[in-house]
Structures are given as C-alpha cells and as structure tokens.
Amino acid sequence: MDLTDNVARQRELYGATIGECLRRITGTLGLSQAAVARTTGISAPMLSQLASGHRIKIGNPHAAARFFSLLQLVDEVGTGLAHEQVATRVAEISREETMPLTGSREVTATTAPTDVAAAVSGVLRAVASGRELAAAAAVLEEEHPGIAEVLRAYGTGSAADAHRHHASIAHLA
C-alpha cells in the first residue's frame, strides 16, 4: 500500500486521517505533538508515522482510547468546556486505565470499577464523537433516560463522571 491508500484506509476507520485528528487536538488543546504522544502512550515516532500516513492505525487499544478521549475533549472545548479545565482533563486522560478491546485479557465480574468505566468510555469514544454522543443522548432522553444517562456519563463526561456512574450501578451488575 502507498500513502494514498493508507490515508484512505484511515478515513474509513476513523472518519478522518490521524493527521487531521492530531491537528484538531494540537490546535484546540494547545498541546504539542510530543505532549499528545506522552498523553496517549504512543511513541513520538509512531505518532509521526500515523500522522503522515506511513502507518494506518493505532494498534494499541489503550493508546487508541486515550487518543479518542483527546478528540472528545476537543469536542467538549467546542461546546463550552472552559480552557482552564483542559489541563486537568488531559491529565485525567493520560492516567486512564483502559482495557484491551481485543480480548487479550478476560473481563470478569471482579474487574475493578475504574477499569470497567474506562473500558465503556473508550468504546463509546472510539465509535462516536462527543457531539454525536450528546445528540444521541438528547434523542433517547424522553423514552430511554437510563441509556441517555450512560451516553452522557461515559461518552461525554469526564473519567470521574464515568467512575461515579459505575459505582452507583455496580450493585446491579
């Protein structure tokens, strides 16, 4: 495959190229590419290869979830999140403990609540933007308020919001 094919594949996978996503993150959040690499856990050279189209996808599901959390944060800034809160949210994202989405570790009933909350957040943020999740929550609110609450807590809320919600329903699982 050549760069054109790689970029086309990134658009299929993510709806945009990694380079476009990276520019949104650095431009809106004021982070350098090196800071994005540190926050996500992707090496700076790997992030550069992804951004330039030399590599197609983020192979580590933990890093992918954190990368998409940063994109979701960009959406939050666009919908009114105060810039003073960005540094706190970036720090939360860098500490996110996400679970592999590839089945390399079995999830059991004894999984720590913070792992479950992060995993659900990672999945939602990998498949939709913050705006899309907020819109879905608004549509569902009247007839399915519980689902709308899950979308807001895990999809558009902070890691702390997701953990609080999970703790409030853990007795049901």
The whole model's pTM is what?
A: 0.59
Give residue-wise pLDDT tens across range 42-53. Answer: 999 999 999 999
Listing DSSP states for 20-83 in one string gives HHHHHHHHHH---HHHHHHHHT--HHHHHHHHHTSS-S---HHHHHHHHHHHHHHHHHHTT--G
Evaluate if residue 54 carries a pLDDT over 90: yes
Domain boundaries, the chain: 3-172
Determine the pLDDT at residue 37: 95
